[in-house]
Chains A and B, each alone.
Chain A
């Protein structure tokens, strides 16, 4: 009985920057079966959290993932604050909201660049990552570091925003908005881009619910699961978010959702800077947190991030459990890959915006004729070549140079 060709990809490859291993069985050139081997980034930090104090754990939780670090630390802080019965100041919530939206911007720009790279559109990669630098500069100004900004502390935020930073934020938003509107125009009108992204990696509405996909993957299938709308928290109890959904349910849909979310984030940041109230930026937190347990969820750039915390009255937590959004999206990945062309594997995997360290995964391919090893870069090139032969070559797209 023929099982088809299985090819190992990873755990090391240049594109994904993560130790990931997929096991893909091919029938000719179509993916018949995909098995995902996870576990490479498992560090055992939940156990580590149990033997460290709450404030020490804040630094560990922040480093669950470098790209959505604020979302994780925010959720954790909220868990501890609610258990301790603390009321964080409004100004702190606004600052947290601004940093959260800036993080969403930088994460989506990062994704757009990676997606461009996967389909052979390196100009888009360079453009978006250059734009991203401006967001990272802002984050460094606000928090002190480009990555792992550490703005959260238990009880509020560590640093305040002064007039200069606020003005700088608004200036950068103006410039970015123009660029992102251009990317939206590209996604809407550039036929090559649409042809390359549309119709692949489909996960229907029913499958999204069945496999528990979250974030842009779910929203691209028409499901409004944005936690800022479903269960408003922090600044979003005062500022309403306009949710973004799309009906394509494929990689193109996820692209459109992310671009529109970026525009929405810019609008929210402007509003938050304008409406930010005066006042203190943190309240003092006790060392010992009263007994209790709590479940908190926030909207990370990749989707819904769920944190569970149980305290036992001491200065160390009893149980910390983090379910990152990428963890939820992996299960649907099999179904997104199966039935599609081998050459589309890189962009389909990239389209869920996997944060491997949030979940850590791996891909391998096996063959019934014997093991063949190929690397991610070859697979990516296969995809680009295949589409070039069909007349679809995103690298030929001439991008407009702007004064940004």
Chain B
């Protein structure tokens, strides 16, 4: 099934999301961010009715106040359908899709560790990928988490208390990055010219 047909069938089954479906390239279809319930319906529909039988990948993203989870599934024609879910950071409760797509199990565990998702129905198993002893409540992939404030010896997150310190650190970061970028651009130009 090609991308256009996928979009048509999804529009028929879920008219409320039909207008927001995107196909930026011939083999990609993106749904808009959906509420967990709707997301589950679309995913199950894609698996059962549209024959998107392969679970590929899950990308967790930080959407400011919310967390976005993009499930990538694909079919025999090489089309990747990205079904997206959004939950608030304060209550990141979703249902596990690993009974429908067993291949997603490891990726869901990553969402738990790195983004703090609470996934109901996730089978028991070792956490992945963070080390044992990682402090609870610390989710590295959230944008507000800064690796600079993580003390690796004591395994604790120690953010500075004054706002002034934050601005100073941010200003220094910008300077460092600008210097690095300038140096890199020079070396890239040099590398391209040499044989």
Bound CA span A135–B104, Å: 36
**Contact status B106-A56, CB under 8 Å:** no
Q: Say yes or no: is B91 at the interface (Cβ < 8 Å to chain A).
A: no
Q: Say yes or no: is A381 at the interface (Cβ < 8 Å to chain B).
A: no
**Contact status B103-A55, CB under 8 Å:** no
**Contact status A212-B102, CB under 8 Å:** yes
The tally of CB-CB contacts under 8 A between chains A and B is 102
- Residue-wise interface mask of A (275-306) relative to B, using a CB-CB cutoff of 8 A (1 in contact, 0 not): 00000001000010000111101000000001
Of the listed stretches B8-16, B122-130, B158-166, name the one at the interface; the rest are far from the partner chain. B122-130
Q: Which residues of chain A are within 8 angstroms of B105 by Cβ–Cβ distance?
A: 331
Q: Which residues of chain A are within 8 angstroms of B55 by Cβ–Cβ distance?
A: 212
**Contact status B130-A39, CB under 8 Å:** yes
**B98-131 interface (Cβ within 8 A of A):** 101-107, 125-131
A35 to chain B, nearest CB (A): 7
Bound CA span A211–B107, Å: 12
Q: Say yes or no: is A159 at the interface (Cβ < 8 Å to chain B).
A: yes
Q: Say yes or no: is B181 at the interface (Cβ < 8 Å to chain A).
A: yes
- Tell me which of B54, B59, B127, B191 contacts A308 (CB under 8 A): B59
A332 to chain B, nearest CB (A): 8
Q: Which residues of chain A are within 8 angstroms of B131 by Cβ–Cβ distance?
A: 39, 42
Number of interface residues of A (CB under 8 A): 47
Q: Say yes or no: is A210 at the interface (Cβ < 8 Å to chain B).
A: yes
**Contact status A44-B103, CB under 8 Å:** no
Main secondary structure of the interface of A (DSSP, over half): mixed
> Which chain B residue shows the least CB distance to A318?
B61
**A15-61 interface (Cβ within 8 A of B):** 35, 37-39, 42, 44, 46-48, 51-53, 55-56
Can you show 24 pairs from A to B with CB atoms below 8 A apart? A35-B126, A39-B131, A47-B147, A52-B180, A53-B177, A153-B188, A153-B191, A153-B192, A210-B103, A211-B102, A211-B103, A212-B104, A231-B27, A292-B24, A306-B56, A306-B57, A319-B59, A319-B62, A321-B57, A321-B59, A323-B56, A328-B103, A331-B105, A331-B106
**14 more A-B residue pairs beyond the given contacts A56-B180, A323-B107, with a C-beta to C-beta distance below 8 A:** A39-B128, A42-B130, A44-B147, A51-B173, A53-B184, A159-B195, A209-B54, A212-B56, A212-B103, A308-B70, A318-B61, A321-B57, A331-B103, A360-B129
B residues with a Cβ closer than 8 A to A are 24-25, 27-28, 30, 53-57, 59, 61-62, 70, 72, 78, 80, 82, 101-107, 125-131, 140-141, 147, 173, 177, 180-181, 184-185, 188, 191-192, 194-195
A residues with a Cβ closer than 8 A to B are 35, 37-39, 42, 44, 46-48, 51-53, 55-56, 82, 153, 158-160, 162, 209-212, 230-231, 282, 287, 292-295, 297, 306, 308, 310, 315-316, 318-319, 321, 323, 327-328, 330-331, 360
